[in-house]
Copies of this chain bind each other. A is one copy, B any other.
Amino acid sequence: MRKQYIFVIKESFFIKAKIYFSHLFFSSFLLLWTLFNEITNFNFRFFMSKVSINEINVLAPASVANIVCGFDILGFALNGPHDKMLIRKTSQKEVIIINKDNYNLPTDPPKNVIGGALLALLDKVNEDIGFIVESTKIIKPGSGIGSSAASAAGAVVGANYLLGNRFSNEELVHFAMCGEEIASGSKHADNIAPCIYGGITLVRSIAPLDIISISAPELFVTILHPLIEVKTSDSRGILKTQISLKDAVTQWGNIAGLVAGFMKNDYELIGRSLIDVVAEPIRSILIPCFDEIKNKSLLAGALGGGISGSGPSVFMLSKNEATAKAVELAMIKVYKNIDLNFHTYITKISSQGVKIQLENS
């Protein structure tokens, strides 16, 4: 027969135990919550880099090159519109492009801006890695607000993220220029640099590449996009290969004034410096009613502006949103009188370039 032990437990014991366990539960919860926050907040990047991410969404912004007098050297990123890309990393050397829009762009990588940029990047990667890109272009090709640069820059920034950010911004500009070359026929970085660096960028030199970020005050941008196509290669072709020293001096005086105006946050100086005596007098003939658009925009309060990149889009800078809207109305009023479709946007110079959005990990 087994011994029997009888424990008599007072009711007060249960009350104490209840309090004790509820304390224990609460402190454990606090400890775990703190640990969770530590990991997610502070070690997010480290943590994510250890997790294999194979697919991301990319938003690649439109951009304005030249900025009137800064032909081939200045550019800024816009707060929108953005091209969208879904980029998936694969385990073999390949670039596959799937168009999710109706622009019928070539999908053969060496003939496609995204393809050209990614092939240049993969050339510097030793592993068996490739990319499948589903591209949804929102920025119309040939609109003059950096459509090809958005494709090229978005692709390489996205791919670099999937590779653990192993390349520098400068290297990414190099790769993206190989894509841009397919669209425009020449390697230039005045749209790509702001797409990758954000804000306003100066491409001091292409070889060796020297990109400088230029600070600036808040600037609103009104864009008029006449629905005609002007190819970058055509728009470059009509420029004179020789210019007078006198015009060159005028132009670099304005470029120096524009850079100083941006960096001094001097809106009036920015406005006074937005004069182009080299490209605008020639290129503007390709844009219907350019002079009227410009004059009416200035009357509506714009600081200044001109052809975006090589056109046909026209951009105007304003100190505030109300003025940018007044400028948009003035533009619409001019274009409503002619038989031509067009779009207008109001946006801002964006300090951020290409944006990454995680899809699946």
What residues make up the interface of A, taking CB atoms closer than 8 Å to B? 70-74, 202-205, 210, 212, 214, 239-246, 248-257, 259-260, 263-264, 269, 272-273, 278
Contact = CB atoms under 8 A, between A and B. Distances in A.
A82 to B, nearest CB: 28
A257 B72 contact: no
A253 B205 contact: yes
A263 to B, nearest CB: 5
B242 A244 contact: yes
Contact of A252 (B242, B252, B263, B269): B252
A196 B24 CA distance: 77
Given A70-B252, A205-B257, 18 more contacts: A70-B256, A72-B253, A74-B256, A204-B269, A204-B272, A205-B272, A212-B256, A212-B257, A239-B245, A241-B244, A241-B246, A243-B243, A245-B278, A248-B251, A252-B255, A255-B255, A256-B256, A259-B260
A99 to B, nearest CB: 34
Given A210-B272, A241-B244, A260-B259, A254 B204 contact: yes
Q: Which 4 A-B pairs have the closest CB atoms?
A: A204-B257, A252-B252, A248-B248, A73-B253
A149 to B, nearest CB: 18
A52 to B, nearest CB: 39
B269 A212 contact: yes
A184 to B, nearest CB: 15
